[in-house]
Amino acid sequence: QLSTSYHRRYHHCAMGRGQRLLLSHMFQPQNLREDQVLSLEGRLGNLTCKSQRLMLQVGLILPASPGCYHLLPYTVRAMEKLVRMIDQEMQAIGGQKINMPSLSPAELWQATSRWQLMGKELLRIRDRHGKEYCLGPTHEEAVTALVASQKNLSYKQLPFLLYQVTRKFRDEPRPRFGLLRGREFYMKDMYTFDASPEAAQQTYSLVCDAYCSLFHRLGLQFIKAQADVGSIGGTMSHEFQLPVDIGEDRLVICPNCSFSANMETLDSLQTNCPACQGPLTETKGIEVGHTFYLGTKYSSIFNAQFANIHGELSLAQMGCYGLGVTRILAAAIEVLSTEDCIRWPSLLAPYQVCLIPPKKGSKEAVATELMEHLHDHIIEGASQLRGEVLLDDRTHLTIGNRLKDANKFGYPFVVIAGKRALEDPAHFEVWCQNTGEVVFLTKEGVLELL
């Protein structure tokens, strides 16, 4: 038997299938003023960027401690959609999903000297026995030791493309920009093990192509730039950057050919394009992904080996590939949104449709039932929209006020039961956020459009 509160939350559809998701029941602090948002962040100055302000204002995230945020229901939905897309891309090239512990023993990091090299960015802890650990900022050590623990690997089994989507911890010197630079954040990190340098190069291109495909599907314009290998090391590296003013990386791009690079990689600032000698232009970017060709840098330390075609032991050729999952969400909002309204890559919008029934007591109030029928019609007719249709049941508010909110949240489709819902046949007003179009459609028309 269902509890009363369950019944309150989900008004069951007439058909008994599906449920009506009511906006009034969402756990979500709403319409915070800028000063309220600032005090939540415990900051005196301005918020550092648009995505941070908007995400706090509409209740997508709440600050927990410096650089750490609670991810609220809308954000988690968007993130789960993003992770599903990442899974599709990674598994399409043979990726196998794993999940490694966040606690990473100091010995592993001492073996690669990164226990010292990473300095204060590494969050270190001691257990009750005095044994030292860090909270994983990345997992090259852990995954290489994991693969090295398998002693009878053969070249016939390779390549292995192992990846995970987990929380990462970095004691950033300046956590800021909301989810863009946190101290605790989600990353997709993939580590690949190949039998030869040639095969590893091929894997490297495959993963880069998968990243390109992901950003294309998200509808995000990106730059694939040559990058520095940093503390991860290796011999070849690219960053995937979203060009935007608040980006912390400086990039050069060649308008003549496809060359682009992080400024860090260039010896001097007035250099010309190394590929075509043409003049370079400069732009700023947010690093959303990073790929490294590692060779045997880590496999030689941990002895990650396999039996080669001659039956001799050979070191695995590795690559590692990161995507900032929470950073991609915030960066997408940063580049797509207006100053006041959030815009999502449509595949990531937490809910695809918001239905706004008439105000209680208004002339149109008789159309409330029509809206409920429309809801059930959509859910019955388009199974992929199950769980994607939110009913803004705050009927004490005018349609206009609720439309303003819906606009701010960036649902790809907003459907209103206004005056024309009283005509025969009833027409609903449909706002298509991504094209800016407003159309009047019958129940059947709405379903067709969605």
Q: Pick from 118, 137, 232, 139: which is nearest to 191 by CA?
A: 139
- Is 289 near ligand ATP (CB under 6 A)? yes
Q: Torsion angle, CA of 419/392/434/239, rounded to 10 degrees?
A: 170
Q: Judged by CB under 5 A, which of 290, 297, 359, 408 binds Mg ion? A: 290
b/e for 11-33, b at 16 or more Cβ within 10 A? eebeeeebbbbbbeeeeeeeebe
Size of the site for ligand ATP (CB under 6 A): 15
Per-position x/- string for 136-155, each x denoting binding to ligand ATP as judged by CB under 6 A, each - no binding: --x-----------------
User: What is the largest distance, in Å, between two alpha-carbon atoms of the chain?
Assistant: 84
Q: Could you say whether residue 359 binds ligand ATP (CB under 6 A)?
A: no
Interface with ligand ATP by CB under 6 A: which range of 11-19, 112-120, 283-291, 396-404? 283-291
Instruction: Choose among 253, 296, 250, 244: nearest CA to 275.
Output: 253
The one among 50, 53, 114, 290 contacting ligand ATP by CB under 6 A = 290
The entry of ligand ATP, Mg ion, none that residue 288 binds, CB within 5 to 8 Å by partner kind: ligand ATP
Q: Is 234 in the site for ligand ATP (CB under 6 A)?
A: no
Query: By CB under 6 A, is residue 327 in contact with ligand ATP?
Result: yes
State yes or no: residue 322 binds ligand ATP (CB under 6 A).
yes
Q: Is 181 in the site for ligand ATP (CB under 6 A)?
A: yes
Residue among 288, 370, 391, 441 that touches ligand ATP (CB under 6 A): 288
Q: Single out the segment in contact with ligand ATP by CB under 6 A; choices: 92-100, 180-188, 199-207, 252-260.
A: 180-188
Output 168 or 402, the one with its CB closest to ligand ATP. Answer: 168
Beta strand pairing call for 61-65 and 428-432: unpaired
Distances (CA, A) of 187 to 13, 115, 276: 39, 21, 35
Torsion of Cα atoms, 179 then 384 then 221 then 74, to 10°: -20
CA distances 1 to 6, 22, 31, Å, are: 10, 21, 36
Should residue 297 be labelled a site residue for ligand ATP when binding is judged by CB under 6 A? no
Instruction: Tell me the sheet residues that pair with 315.
Output: 305
Instruction: Name beta bridge partners: 166.
Output: 187
Backbone angles phi, psi at 167, to 5 degrees: -75, 140
- Contact characters 243-282, ligand ATP, x per CB under 6 A: ----------------------------------------
For ligand ATP, the closer CB: 184 or 388: 184
Q: Scan for tokens 């009750």, then name that residue.
A: 128
Span of 97-105, 270-278, 320-328, 424-432 interacting with ligand ATP by CB under 6 A: 320-328
Distance of CA 302 to the CA centre of its chain: 32
Contacts to Mg ion by CB under 5 A: 287, 290
Positions in the binding site for ligand ATP (CB under 6 A): 138, 170, 172, 181-182, 185, 187, 287-290, 322, 324, 326-327
